[in-house]
Structure 1
Amino acid sequence: MNILIVHAHPEPKSFTAALKNAAVDTLTTAGHTVEVSDLYALNFNAVASAGDFDSRQNPDYLVYALEQRNGVKDDTLSKDILTEIDKVRSCDLLLLTFPIFWFSVPAILKGWIDRVFVSGAFYGGRRIYDHGGMTGKKALVCATLGGRPHMVSEGGIHGDLVAMLRPLLQGTLGYVGFDVLEPFFGYHIPYLDDAERHGILNEWYQALATLDSRSLLPMPSLRNYDETLALRRIVLA
């Protein structure tokens, strides 16, 4: 299996980086081919702009998604975007490792998604969810946070953590066609001692060893929606 790890943490000695390193070692040892895009190490440009296109269909007014489509068709996307697109297209599993910032992903990871998940290749029109450009591939989120489990569960002060990350899990990964595996979370990380951190690492090793049996998050299927993407009405006899 070809695995792409996209890592977004500014500190190379962080626990999030340790989870990323554990994934590289474990998956490589298991015989998989592993590639890493360390966004901070790459100094990845997270800002979507007109500079993302070597030429534009409309030089007077920027409609970013439309220019992405033209860039895919005419091969005029900037080199750094094309490099990352090729990595995603080549992978069977996309693994994202990052700390949760403000109920979401770090800005550099959001910018990677904005620039790399291009219209025309990843999605477009009815090419979404189980018809999306990344169908047949899997995605797994491995995220760390400072909160305790009860704080980010249903009924907790912040609400359910998977629901919190719906814009990423469904609105991004599921939307473009990935089969989205149940996320892995490391809780309360800044406040744990070494023994507790080793416990989370052991849980991560176990998760990596059982990827084939890991549950999938439910996603919409286009077969349940009509040509306008309205939910089909089921008429009972």
Structure 2
Amino acid sequence: MKVLIVHAHPEANSFTAALRDQAIETLQAQGHEVQVSDLYEMNWNPVASAEDFSPRQNPEYLVYALEQRLGVKHHSIAADIQQELDKLLWADLLILNFPIFWFSAPAMLKGWIDRVLVSGICYGGKRFYDHGGLAGKKALVTVTLGGREHMFGEGAIHGPFEDMLRPILRGTLAYVGFEVLQPFVAWHVPYISDQARQDFLRSYQQRLEHIADDLPLEYVKLSQFDEALYPLANNA
């Protein structure tokens, strides 16, 4: 299996980085090929802009998704985007590895998503969900956060954890066709003991050793909707 790990944490010695290293070690030990995009180390540019295309198809008015589509087709997309897109298309499994910032991903990772998941390849038209451009690939979200596990769930103070990650799990990964696996979560990380951190690392190792057996989360399929994307009667 070919694995791309996209890592986004500003501290090189963070526990999030330890999870990245655990993933590399575990997956390579199983014979998998691994590439890593360490966004802070790369000084990744997270800002989607007109500078991502040279030349632009429409220099008068920027429609970013359209320029993406044409930029890939005419080889006029920025080199850093093309490099990451090549890695993404190479991979069978994408791991997004990051800390939770304000119920979401760091801006650095959001910018990777904005710039690399290009229209015309990853999505566009009815190229989404099980018909998405990245259908057949799997994705795993691995996160750290300061909150305790009991703070998330039905009736909990922050609500269900999956609701917090919905823009990434459904609105991004499932949308472009990935089979989205249950996230791996390391809870309360800044406040726990070294032993507790080691326990998380061992759990992550065991999870990755059996990642091929993971069942994906369930999302809609286009076959459940008509041509205008209204739900079919038998799905009501």
Structure-to-structure mapping, 1:69-108, within 5 angstroms: 69-108=69-108
Q: Distance in 2 between matches of 1:8 and 1:22?
A: 15
Unpaired segments ≥5 residues, structure 2: none
Q: What is the DSSP-based 3-state SS (H/G/I as helix, E as strand, rest coil) of the residue aligned with 1:46?
A: coil
**Segments ≥4 residues shifted beyond 2 Å:** none
Q: What is the DSSP-based 3-state SS (H/G/I as helix, E as strand, rest coil) of the residue aligned with 1:37?
A: strand
1:230 is displaced (CA, Å) by 1.3
Counterpart in 2 of 1:169? 169
Q: Distance in 2 between matches of 1:202 and 1:13?
A: 18
The letter of the residue matching 1:111 is G
Q: Distance in 2 between matches of 1:81 and 1:230?
A: 35
Counterpart in 2 of 1:182? 182
Q: Distance in 2 between matches of 1:22 and 1:177?
A: 27
Counterpart in 2 of 1:20? 20
1:235 is displaced (CA, Å) by 9.3
Residues 180, 216 of structure 2: 8 Å contact kept:
yes
Counterpart in 2 of 1:216? 216
Q: Distance in 1 between matches of 2:79 and 2:153?
A: 41
The letter of the residue matching 1:94 is L
Q: What is the DSSP-based 3-state SS (H/G/I as helix, E as strand, rest coil) of the residue aligned with 1:229?
A: coil
Residues 224, 235 of structure 2: 8 Å contact kept:
no
1:13-33 superposed Cα distances (whole Å, 9 cap, x missing partner) = 100000000000110011000
Structure-to-structure mapping, 1:145-156, within 5 angstroms: 145-156=145-156
Q: What is the DSSP-based 3-state SS (H/G/I as helix, E as strand, rest coil) of the residue aligned with 1:231?
A: coil
Q: Distance in 2 between matches of 1:94 and 1:203?
A: 19
Q: Distance in 2 between matches of 1:123 and 1:215?
A: 23
1:82-124 superposed Cα distances (whole Å, 9 cap, x missing partner) = 0000000000000010000000000000000000000001000
Counterpart in 1 of 2:131? 131
1:234 is displaced (CA, Å) by 2.4
1:156-179 superposed Cα distances (whole Å, 9 cap, x missing partner) = 111111111000000000000000
Q: Distance in 2 between matches of 1:116 and 1:142?
A: 19
Per mean C-alpha deviation after superposition, the further-off stretch among 68-77 and 20-29 is 68-77
Q: Does 2:35 correspond to 1:8?
A: no
Q: What is the DSSP-based 3-state SS (H/G/I as helix, E as strand, rest coil) of the residue aligned with 2:234?
A: coil
Structure-to-structure mapping, 1:183-198, within 5 angstroms: 183-198=183-198
Q: Distance in 1 between matches of 2:6 and 2:195?
A: 27
Let me know the Cα RMSD of the aligned residues: 1.1
Counterpart in 2 of 1:234? 234
1:143-202 superposed Cα distances (whole Å, 9 cap, x missing partner) = 000000011222111111111100000000000000001110000000001111111111
Identity of matched residues, %: 57
Q: Distance in 2 between matches of 1:125 and 1:103?
A: 29
Q: What is the DSSP-based 3-state SS (H/G/I as helix, E as strand, rest coil) of the residue aligned with 1:85?
A: helix
Unpaired segments ≥5 residues, structure 1: none
The letter of the residue matching 1:107 is A
1:197-217 superposed Cα distances (whole Å, 9 cap, x missing partner) = 111111111101110121211
Between Structure 1 and Structure 2, how many residues are aligned?
A: 236
Structure-to-structure mapping, 1:44-83, within 5 angstroms: 44-83=44-83
Q: Distance in 2 between matches of 1:47 and 1:139?
A: 23
Counterpart in 1 of 2:204? 204
Per mean C-alpha deviation after superposition, the further-off stretch among 84-93 and 222-231 is 222-231
Cα gap change, 1:235 to 1:16, in 2 (>3 Å): closer
Q: Distance in 2 between matches of 1:174 and 1:39?
A: 22
The alignment's TM-score, normalised by the length of structure 1, stands at 0.98
Q: Distance in 2 between matches of 1:234 and 1:220?
A: 14
The alignment's TM-score, normalised by the length of structure 2, stands at 0.98
Q: Distance in 2 between matches of 1:62 and 1:29?
A: 46
